[in-house]
A and B are shown apart, each in its own frame.
Chain A
């Protein structure tokens, strides 16, 4: 039970993610989360406006079911498998975040300054959440994959496009973390 209640180390999580990927291929499908966003567009009728979304989305049902499982796994963990909601952080990280206006780092999984309901209901807070999402969705589809499709599958398969994309992920992430986040809060 000790194993279940403690946070899992990288050497537990990495192999499980590789196993998840393996199972999806073994079951005849693939590992890629961001393609679900296009499926949502197709289900929502985007094909009426843009031909790109005129696809038979039912062939992606397995991936929507996978996502439903992911939501369920998140629920199960938060209800029964995680006794605390804290994240043990490097003291330097906590200090750096306090300096840019994010307090109590690590007391919960997510900073209130971005994710609390109160923040969401402010104009600035709502725009930050929305724009973050737009960049993730637009960028992932432009690049042809996200962390799962490029960083895990693509790198495993020694794909040059994935290496370039992952380098791009890091350029964008470093710019946001080091130069833009300090200006936002």
Chain B
């Protein structure tokens, strides 16, 4: 039962990804062509509101529903890791027109071919794990 809340939040996530057409390949293409404000507005407004959330968490003004303090763990730091990993991710994002959230939402839309992308992404995560000691971080 404790998982039902995550299922419900996931449904909200799937609906907003679909209704705002974030799952559309074309919305990612036009973003990288600077031909629409849509995706910039979405990410920008989410970040501005996200900053307020983070502020409330940091000041302990909002705690978890169980009353525990919320700590947002710092991201792994490293110029090569962030920049090179980021560039590789960006190449894939613009080609697939989907990042790891929308990929799953597209399954629900009935897009069979997205399963190949998800398989590839899982394989990619595996390959990273297998070769990570040989990569610059």
Within 8 A of B (CB), among A147-167: 147-162, 164-167
Interface size, B (range) = 35 or more
CB pair A120 B112 closer than 8 Å = yes
Interface of A is mostly: helix
Convert A142-185 into 0s and 1s, putting 1 for each residue whose CB lies closer than 8 angstroms to a CB of B: 11111111111111111111101111111111111110110000
CB pair B38 A168 closer than 8 Å = no
- Pick the residue among B10, B32, B40, B64 that contacts A173 (CB under 8 A): B32
Interface centre among B10, B27, B111, B123 (most CB of A within 10 A): B10
Given A140-B124, A157-B50, 18 additional A-B pairs, CB 8 A:
A14-B43, A25-B64, A37-B122, A41-B129, A73-B11, A73-B13, A74-B17, A109-B21, A126-B116, A129-B120, A132-B96, A133-B116, A135-B92, A143-B88, A149-B75, A172-B94, A176-B32, A181-B95
- Pick the residue among B21, B25, B57, B125 that contacts A138 (CB under 8 A): B125
Enumerate chain B interface residues (CB-CB to A < 8 A).
3, 5-33, 35-51, 53-54, 57, 62, 64-66, 68, 70, 72-79, 81-101, 103-114, 116-130, 132, 135, 137
Which residues on A sit within 8 Å (CB–CB) of B37? 10
- Pick the residue among A13, A155, A160, A171 that contacts B22 (CB under 8 A): A13
CB pair B47 A23 closer than 8 Å = no
Interface size, A (range) = 35 or more
CB pair A172 B93 closer than 8 Å = yes
CB pair B82 A139 closer than 8 Å = no
Q: At the interface, yes or no: A17 with Cβ under 8 Å from chain B?
A: yes
